[in-house]
Amino acid sequence: MKNFLIIMISSSLLTVLVSFGEANANSSDQNTVFTKEVDSIALKVNALLAKMTLEEKIGQMNQYNGFWDVTGPAPAHGDAANKYEHLKKGWVGSMLNVRGVKEVRQVQKIAVEETRLGIPLIIGFDVIHGYKTISPIPLAEAASWDLEAIKLSARVAAEEASASGINWTFAPMVDISRDARWGRVMEGAGEDPYLASLIAKARVEGFQGDDLSLANTIAACAKHFVGYGFAEAGRDYNTVDVGTSTLYNVLLPPFKAAQDAGVRTFMNAFNELNGIPATGSAFLQRDILKGDWNFQGFMVTDWGSINEMITHRYAKDRRNAAEIAINAGADMDMESYAYVNELASLVKDGKVDERLIDDAVKRILRVKFELGLFDDPYKYCNETVEKEVIGSKTIMDAVLDVAKKSIVLLKNENNLLPLKKQGQKIAIIGALANDKTSPLGSWRIAADDGTAVSVLEGMKAYKGNTITYEKGANVVTGETVFPKELTINVTDKSGFASAIAAAKKADVVVMVLGEHGLHSGEGRSRSEIGLPGVQQELLEAIYKANKNIVLVLNNGRPLTIDWAHEHIPAIVEAWQLGTQSGHAIAQVLYGDYNPSGKLPMTFPRNVGQVPIYYNHKSTGRPTLQEPGSVFWSHYSDVSNTPLYPFGYGLSYTSFSYTDLKVNTISNHTVEVSVKLTNTGKVKGKEVVQLYLRDEFASVTRPVKELKGFEMVELNPKESKIVTFKLSEAELGFYDNDGKFNVEPGTFSVFVGGSSDATLTAQFEIP
Ligand code: BGC
């Protein structure tokens, strides 16, 4: 207990110390190992800071894009022309999008060998789901609910990226979203804060490993702080307006989980939140993150987001924007050219306190020390390692493993799946089946086009059946070039006839339909979320020829596929699964992997239901009041229920849930157990999910919330008792002042294989 207290005291002292550098780090002989380690870096940071001119300090806070503009408009002003000059003067602290050992070495050499103080650059890159070898899009990985596989996926991504000179990833994106129209849902973990928090932790641990100073670990970045996924109408970059309850209970928890897992950096966001652009919000960055949460790392802005405060109509000009951003707690300027050009004079004019600059610089230098860049700035620059690691078998195996686990079986009538391995005539239809680029999805800047295993290749790796392929129709017209807009207005149906003919001759038709990999991602919002182009018509035309259809979906967001659900006997949600996509899909279709994925996001029946999410509130009129009455919360043309709920997913076997028991351990601790039995014929995995409802509270609570899950693998007829412990963290919630409380009263638990779970029990918290 005594030690515990000492750590608490020392670490809060440290905040002050790190923030203002006034106290002596060795002032107390009570230092624990933890504080000694941190303080030794603080001493080095302070010593270096003391040597720096104001301009050199501001240089550390300046991040430049290397050589090509990947996202966002290229800056209109001519500042980009000064990048090399600034680099040589020591006015650049970080670069992004420089990649490959050769290139990274070049820029690092300028920083280390040509500047006065030789401070190494931190090299950032969007390693979102893999680097060269691509794992499933993050939303797909979230569908695995397999935290170990997700962590491993981040781990191997870090190994590949670090081998290529990168030491900082702008991931994980931990934005919660309830709107499938938003293109960046592909990049997150879905709609639920509990699942997303555990995934945030797994990803941070995967990227950063146990020791940040090793050459194969990289600093992670929790983004976008905060609210970006709640853009109005799902339109990217749009306004965000959310109440305190949603902010604290839904949006912030995954960020807090990333912070608790030791994430070294945060990124702020393009959006405004309740009238204040996130980049200029002291409430978010200073009060919550660096204050309440005691975050010790640094905050990078999103691309050009300091300047965007001007177009938000929040800042008068760039100088004003720079002043707002630094005062609000943004430490590093990504591509606004605002800090490098404006901060020094703002300090000289007394508009910005130099201690804020010192604090930002210390945070940035700290991470560079932690990465070991001062010991060896070229530690990530080893050509031999680069050659050996990229695309290695270990990495390929890890991305295949998580790809299989990410697949969700949505429907399987008459056990059409798994497919027989011998003697079948299989027609594969759909342009996406033969696409080796689209499965890489969005955000895979370093991966080469055409490097994914297509469904066709994956299926052909099994030799026992006769396979024919017909495209049927294109998914998009014209080029698919990042970051250009995709043209979806496909009208050409000339491929239908031969696809229909192939379907007629086949025993089974496998149709691969959905979105191109670049239909989702940044700037890729859609107002209709059905199958793009003429794919729906193709599906209906093939259905007339042969009803034995397995529909394999490739997509970066939930789609509205109500017709398919009505008519098609088997539906497999295969997202965009990355480099090993085709093998993963084939192994599931043939039953070599029994699907175990569960949806991390609700699938609506139509787009008008959006935002639709399982953990909604009750409202005052949740059900029909009197027969025929209209006075309840509903639509006249569609039911309130989704097409597929959060947490839903089938297996080639079946499971039963029985013997739900609740056991009170203490005032604020309850144990819930349930018996899971494999009632089918094959071995399978089930994600046992526990949902909780606080029956009444001082702030209205959701109808249910995920508060525990466990993945269980069982042989046919085998059973297992699964036990969950619910304590304060699960029972409580944040009130409208941001305070976490457990309120006494009645709680209901629901346990089952999706958020529709009906097996229920109640308990009281005194
Ligand atoms: C995105 C960020 C990304 C940054 C750098 C921005 O457009 O919003 O998520 O990390 O670009 O590429």
Which residue owns the Cα nearest ligand 1 atom 11?
303
Q: At what angle do helices 354-370 and 318-328 cross, to 10 degrees?
A: 60
Q: How far apart (Å, rounded) are the C-alpha atoms in residues 722 and 711?
A: 10
Nearest C-alpha neighbor of 152 from the set 394, 387, 385, 386: 394
Question: Which of 67, 70, 123, 126 to mutate for ligand 1's pocket (most ligand atoms within 8 Å of CB)?
Answer: 126
Q: pLDDT by residue (tens digit) across 72-123?
A: 444 445 777 788 889 999 999 999 999 999 999 999 999 999 999 999 999 9
Question: Is 0.75 topped by the overall pTM?
Answer: yes
- pLDDT tier at 67, thresholds 50, 70, 90: low
For 392, left (φ over 0), alpha (ψ -120 to 50), or beta? beta
Q: pLDDT by residue (tens digit) across 315-370?
A: 999 999 999 999 999 999 999 999 999 999 999 999 999 999 999 999 999 999 99
The binding-site residues of ligand 1, defined as CB within 6 angstroms of any ligand atom, are 70-72, 96, 126, 170, 223, 302-303, 522
- Measured in angstroms, how far is the CA atom of residue 302 from the centroid of ligand 1? 6
Mind spelling out the 3-state secondary structure of 195-238?
HHHHHHHHHHHHHHCCCCCCCCCCECEEEEECCHHHCHHHCCCC
Nearest C-alpha neighbor of 733 from the set 252, 384, 343, 313: 252
Nearest C-alpha neighbor of 585 from the set 540, 551, 560: 551
Q: pLDDT by residue (tens digit) across 152-210?
A: 999 999 999 999 999 999 999 999 999 999 999 999 999 999 999 999 999 999 999 99
- Measured in angstroms, how far is the CA atom of residue 264 from the centroid of ligand 1? 17
**Sign of torsion over alpha carbons 465, 470, 475, 476:** positive
Nearest C-alpha neighbor of 202 from the set 249, 248, 144, 241: 144
Q: Which two tokens stand for residue 703?
A: 């109808």
Q: How far apart (Å, rounded) are the C-alpha atoms in residues 130 and 162?
A: 11
Which residue owns the Cα nearest ligand 1 atom 8?
302
Q: Give Cβ neighbours of residue 632 (< 8 Å, ≥ 6 apart).
A: 621, 622, 623, 624, 625
| Mean pLDDT value across residues 712-728 | 98
Nearest atom of ligand 1 to the alpha carbon of 171:
10
Q: How far apart (Å, rounded) are the C-alpha atoms in residues 172 and 169?
A: 8
- Measured in angstroms, how far is the CA atom of residue 68 from the centroid of ligand 1? 14
Nearest atom of ligand 1 to the alpha carbon of 228:
8
Q: Which residues are catalytic?
A: 302
- Measured in angstroms, how far is the CA atom of residue 303 from the centroid of ligand 1? 6
- Measured in angstroms, how far is the CA atom of residue 71 from the centroid of ligand 1? 7
Which residue owns the Cα nearest ligand 1 atom 2?
302
- Measured in angstroms, how far is the CA atom of residue 70 from the centroid of ligand 1? 9
Q: How big is the CA angle at 418 (ends 413 and 423), to the nearest 5 degrees?
A: 115
Identity of the residue numbered 205 = E
Which residue owns the Cα nearest ligand 1 atom 6?
303
DSSP label at residue 286: I
Nearest atom of ligand 1 to the alpha carbon of 72:
7
Question: Which of 71, 271, 336 to mutate for ligand 1's pocket (most ligand atoms within 8 Å of CB)?
Answer: 71
